[in-house]
Amino acid sequence: MAKSKRPLISINPLNGETLKTYREMSREDIDKAIGRADKAFAGWSRQSFSERAIILKRAGKLFEERNEALSRLMAQEMGKKISDGQGELALCAEIFEYYAEEGERILAPQHLSTREGEGTLMFQPLGVVYGIQPWNFPFYQPARFTAANLIAGNVVLTKHASNVPQCAEAFAQLLFDAGVPEGVYTNLPITSGGAAPIIDDDRVKGISFTGSNTAGAMVAEQAGRNVKKTVMELGGVDPFIVLEDADMDLTIQRFVEGKLGNCGQICLAAKRIILTEPIAEEFLGRVTKLFQSLKPGDPLKENTDYGPLCTEKAAEELEAQVNKSVKAGAQLLAGGRRNGAFMEPGILTEIPKGSPAAEE
């Protein structure tokens, strides 16, 4: 692989230890990888559903067999609690098993009968598809993208997040061990700067992106100029609304699960809590007390309540958002302090418009 200006560094957010360093793929190597994928499409798309399903089933089995090792890798590379990682990998196994069993049925030709006459709806593979993946679920996110495309007969290029290169490498190795042919799945160890030329390449027929609204807008604009199919999963500000008739014990349990799972680093985590006045004091009091009782720790240990964020930089950015919000007039009821990559679970109230807590 040609030498690159920027390495991809795997860092343990628990202690800042550098685990492994990768060289970024050169533009020449990217071009060769796209060429191999384009060439592999002809053979893979001609295989029957049952032939492709056999490989997907093997991949699902390997996710089960490697659950312990891969969940430990996630804990070390991005700080995910070991129990959360085990659940993620179990879901990956289910995804590959589902598409292996149901893919042919889902994509079977459909007879159409209309006032204008009879017809048949056919599903055909596109070719080379390119997935830009996030770091928060380094196995689940590429699993749901890859399994669906492989059973459909597409071939896959994946650019994973720069801070989880070991997970990206392990995902690719698992597929190769399951029997995925060379070129049918390709991990591209590149940074964001290397992603743009791939979207422009005529051999790439579709783009899938999961990430921020800002980056998604750039990807969608570029894909639009090339008139390419896109699937975009972007950020949100999901509300958690509590009314007077709520079962408070169950509601608080669900809130904590929805807010603190994966340290809150989930697109659909509860981001805004909206309370009706009669129950606001009780809810805030109980949740504040609960947050204050949670203990940070090594994500590899079962008794850890929460681990570090994915990187120390992410924790620094979150700390700055909290501080700016407080300076603007928000009230910090609990937590909100940073220690390295760890961030205490916190509660902000009286949030003014225009503050980071309201707008970001």
**Active centre residues (catalytic):** 233, 267
Name the residue among 201, 270, 202 with its Cα closest to residue 242. Answer: 270
Please answer whether residues 103 and 52 qualify as being in contact, where contact means their C-beta atoms are separated by less than 8 angstroms: yes
The residues that bridge with 273 in the sheet, in sequence order, are 240
**CA-based nearest residue to 208, from 283, 292, 93, 128:** 128
- Dist CA 224 CA 210 (whole Å): 17
* Contact yes or no for 326/350 (Cβ under 8 A): no
Contact 169, 163 (CB under 8 A): no
For 329-351, give one letter per residue: b (16+ CB within 10 A) or e. ebebbbbbebeebbbbbebbeeb
- 3-class DSSP assignment, residue 300: coil
The arrangement of strands across the sheet holding 128-132 comes to 185-187, 155-159, 128-132, 204-210, 229-233
What are the counts of helices (DSSP H) followed by strands (DSSP E) for the chain?
Answer: 12, 15
φ and ψ at 329, to 5 degrees?
Answer: 125, -5
Token representation of residue 296: 């940070």
Provide DSSP, 145-205.
HHHHHHHHT-EEEEE--TT-HHHHHHHHHHHHHHTPPBTTEEE----GGGTHHHHH-TTEE
